[in-house]
Structure 1
């Protein structure tokens, strides 16, 4: 018996020491770690960098192209030349050498404004990628805090189960004493043992589930953390605006709607880019050339050197390209119409989601108030039942039922509290305001 007591004291001491040494992962710290290390956020930032490179002046065709060319030729031949008078000369090993170099510049002066519209299209593509990155971060916010608050929920439920197990163990000790002194039956003792076992199993399962959720959070964080950390369990609700203002804010700032607006702008520029093929292209070409040659005795000239500037303009106009430009313009117009239809569809869908989420949010706030009253009532009932149980005025079954009612009420309140917070985050995401919330 002394060994058992010492073991219990040791477990309590180690548990207390572990509780003191546990790291607290705050919501703010979790957000900072995620934004720095999350894999999806990293990819979104890289995609944004690619879009930034694509909209650069170097990718628009507005700059000229400059090229340098140089070359040298050497030949060693046996040559025989015959003159008009019939005489001939033979030269063995006639060497010919030539050298050349040039610097050339080519520039398209006019291409039907295709470059201009393409440049504007690339800028809108960058803005679209920026919105896509924002949406990725918004989704990561929601994913992060869904996991974080799930851990907080399980932590609170685990604490409730731990408290219930402590009460059940105290009841078991009381049942043992009463049985030893003949004040209780063997059945009362067995019931108490069964309840302790059931509460122990529930607590072990809760701890395992909590560890699994923490490992899942590690994936979102993008780092490997030991699962012995704890999280903040306090829940603070943001005072949401009225529905009319919330709906207006959603239609103005929702990430999906903003992306579709950019897709419409891109489609409009795509039509103009294709129409540019109807117009002519005017190009400038200029170069500076240098050349030198050394000829054998059989040649009329012993050698020559040349250098100079060359320039020219070229105009090209495709009067008929088989109808490909006409087809491309028609398809671009259809693509624009599809984007406009999609925008209207998204507006209706998002408005519907907003209304449903808003109603659910307000219902959850009511449920929290009702569950708080339930907890107060069941706590009062449990306290009174516990007093009467100690006085022997109620059975262990009645006491256990009061205990179960209290656990269920606390769990229901806990679940309602965190469910409401997650719904609130969904409202913030729909309205495009989730990134502006400080945690």
Structure 2
């Protein structure tokens, strides 16, 4: 009864209700995170901007058309004094109305518009690659946090089991004390250990509650949203190192984005060279003007008609600035190629170190599983011996702590194994995303 009351208090303190809660699967968590996650929504907007910018009009292929209409009235008071002293006054007024439409069109700009369109297409692809990288990073973070919640839930069970054992110890010590086969010190020691294990359980419940809040934040929903995770084994699937490296060289989003940047820099070199070529532009317009006079030798004047002109030009000399721009663009392209090679090398190093951590975690999990079997067997033997009074209270407590420590190490090793597998799949570009 004491244990039941304690668990209820722990649940209340940690904000964990006893009513039925949503069962959140890992697949549902990833889906919700990719739909509602703040970083994903920002990346989607940035990709949409790059898509909107990739138009022929933005690249300079299409003409510009302007229309205008206007009118004004001019009125003045004129006074003229002649040589004979006579004065002549007049109040002329002029009314003007005008309208026009014009078109300006760059027909050729040294291939600049074609280069601009290719750059806009590459920038759109870069935005798509960046969005994919954000989605994979968010997915990996959601999986890691979800597994951490599963881990904490398992640890709660471990500490719950430890509390049950401590409760048995208190009962055994109280019975032994009543018949005179155990001292008051033994009973008090068992009760102190019971309180300690109770405190550990409450703390573990708090850790679980906080991790659930972290997961809710990644899913873009209220932190107090109640849910339960799906129990699943924290085991990893087999991975072949060479296949992982080969896929990373082809599918890693950061590496793909760097290669796209190299292509953009090559287009910048072509763009700089295009300044040496001539430009051809077309200008045409149609205008209408009308003037009405109240005091003039002409009463009315109007004009209208089209205008067409073609302009061609080439820069003969601009202080060697074109040559400088070409050289700088070539250096920028070379720098980006070096950075891409550096990124490939860093990626290979990251895969190797993560893979080593993965294989080490596999070995640790295997060792801890065997250790847990031994610790469980030892605990069962010790508990029976304690009931019979053949081992001391200190030995019993040490056995109990050993079982808790091995259980804790195994769960941590399993989570580490799963996290390293997810990281390997993320950096290799093989992390499966939902549609």
Whole-angstrom CA distance in 2 between matches of 1:34 and 1:396: 50
Trace 1:63-74 onto structure 2 (pairs within 5 A): 63-74=62-73
Trace 1:306-385 onto structure 2 (pairs within 5 A): 306-385=303-382
3-state DSSP class of the match of 1:239?
Answer: coil
Q: Which runs of 5+ in 1 are unaligned?
A: none
Q: How far did 1:93 drift? A: 2.1
Q: How far did 1:230 drift? A: 2.4
Residue matched to 2:273: 275
Q: How far did 1:58 drift? A: 2.7
Asked if the contact 2:136/2:433 (under 8 Å) is kept, the reply is no
3-state DSSP class of the match of 1:189?
Answer: helix
Q: How far did 1:300 drift? A: 2.7
3-state DSSP class of the match of 2:287?
Answer: strand
Q: How far did 1:25 drift? A: 2.0
Map Cα deviations across residues 22-76 of structure 1 (whole Å, 9 max, x no partner): 3322212211221121111111011101111111223111110000111112112
3-state DSSP class of the match of 2:172?
Answer: helix
Whole-angstrom CA distance in 2 between matches of 1:9 and 1:372: 30
Residue matched to 1:417: 414
Map Cα deviations across residues 333-365 of structure 1 (whole Å, 9 max, x no partner): 111111110111111111111111112211211
Asked if the contact 1:99/1:292 (under 8 Å) is kept, the reply is yes
Which of residues 373, 392, 395 in structure 2 aligns to 1:398? Answer: 395
Asked if the contact 1:99/1:293 (under 8 Å) is kept, the reply is yes
Whole-angstrom CA distance in 2 between matches of 1:322 and 1:124: 32
- TM-score norm. by structure 2 comes to 0.93
Residue matched to 1:158: 156
Residue matched to 1:434: 431
How many residues of Structure 1 are paired with residues of Structure 2 in the alignment? 431
3-state DSSP class of the match of 1:110?
Answer: strand
Map Cα deviations across residues 115-149 of structure 1 (whole Å, 9 max, x no partner): 11011011111111111111111111121122221
Residue matched to 1:168: 166
Whole-angstrom CA distance in 1 between matches of 2:112 and 2:60: 10
Asked if the contact 1:108/1:284 (under 8 Å) is kept, the reply is yes
Map Cα deviations across residues 319-346 of structure 1 (whole Å, 9 max, x no partner): 1122222222111111111111011111
Q: How far did 1:78 drift? A: 2.6
Whole-angstrom CA distance in 2 between matches of 1:26 and 1:88: 105
Residue matched to 1:37: 36
Q: How far did 1:413 drift? A: 1.1
Residue matched to 2:138: 140
Q: How far did 1:237 drift? A: 4.2
| Residue 58 in structure 1 maps to residue 57 in structure 2 | yes
Residue matched to 2:102: 104
Q: Which runs of 5+ in 2 are unaligned?
A: none
Which of residues 218, 221, 228 in structure 2 aligns to 1:230? Answer: 228
3-state DSSP class of the match of 2:76?
Answer: strand
3-state DSSP class of the match of 1:157?
Answer: helix
3-state DSSP class of the match of 1:62?
Answer: coil
Asked if the contact 1:65/1:107 (under 8 Å) is kept, the reply is yes
Whole-angstrom CA distance in 1 between matches of 2:174 and 2:273: 92
Asked if the contact 1:118/1:270 (under 8 Å) is kept, the reply is no
Which of residues 262, 265, 273 in structure 1 aligns to 2:263? Answer: 265
Whole-angstrom CA distance in 2 between matches of 1:414 and 1:89: 112
Instruction: Check 1:283–1:409 CA distance in 2 against 1; reply closer, same or farther (3 A cut).
Output: same
Asked if the contact 1:280/1:316 (under 8 Å) is kept, the reply is yes
Asked if the contact 1:128/1:259 (under 8 Å) is kept, the reply is yes
